[in-house]
Amino acid sequence: MLMVMTITIFCSCARHDNEYIDLRSGKKVLLVKDEQTGYMVNTETRKPVYLYVEPSTNDTFYGRTAVKVNGKIRRSTEGGFVFEGDDGFTYKDGDYKVKVEDNTPKLEGDVKIKYGDDGSVKIKADNYKKKVDANGDVKIKDGDTKITIKDGKKEVKRD
């Protein structure tokens, strides 16, 4: 009985390798890299994390790129913290709103990325939409072309 209690206490106190502190909430979270966007996301909510801290080193990282940003963070006027080197990216309520870089001609203007509670992802830009469902199904509308990928089968329609 004592051995079982000792193992239970040890396992419950052990830190997970992917456990960090979300700088916005101050809470411990488990993070993984989203394979589609490359952003670090909370495993529970599947929403991206803006800034997070590695507890063992006290290093701070930017969630969009997972780059160490020690010394590049300032307190925002609205409260919280802001990474000064995010190059025009804004983060609000679990979503990044990004400005598209010059080398992406298909996406012009602002790009909005939304994460659903079910794990789905929606990307919207001028004349472009993409939705990836939690089950992996994909719908893309690019100008007059519609692409649907369902159960591994691709269908292309042009208006």
Q: Kind and range of the H or E element at 75?
A: strand 73-75
Residue 4 confidence (pLDDT): 44
SS3 94: coil
Summarised one tens digit per residue, pLDDT across range 3-25 is 544 444 444 444 456 799 998 88
Query: What letter represents residue 111's amino acid?
Result: V
Percent of the chain with pLDDT over 90: 10
What is the C-alpha R_g of the chain?
Answer: 19
Per residue in 75-91, pLDDT (tens digit) is 777 667 777 777 666 66
In tens, the pLDDT along 90-145 reads 666 666 665 444 434 345 567 778 877 777 788 888 788 888 887 778 888 888 88
Contacting residues for 48 by C-beta, under 8 A, at least 6 apart = 34, 37, 39, 40, 41, 42, 63, 64, 91, 94, 95, 96, 115
CB 4 within 8 A of CB 31: no
Helix (H, G, I), strand (E, B) or coil at 4: helix
What pLDDT, on a 0 to 100 scale, did the predictor assign at position 20? 93
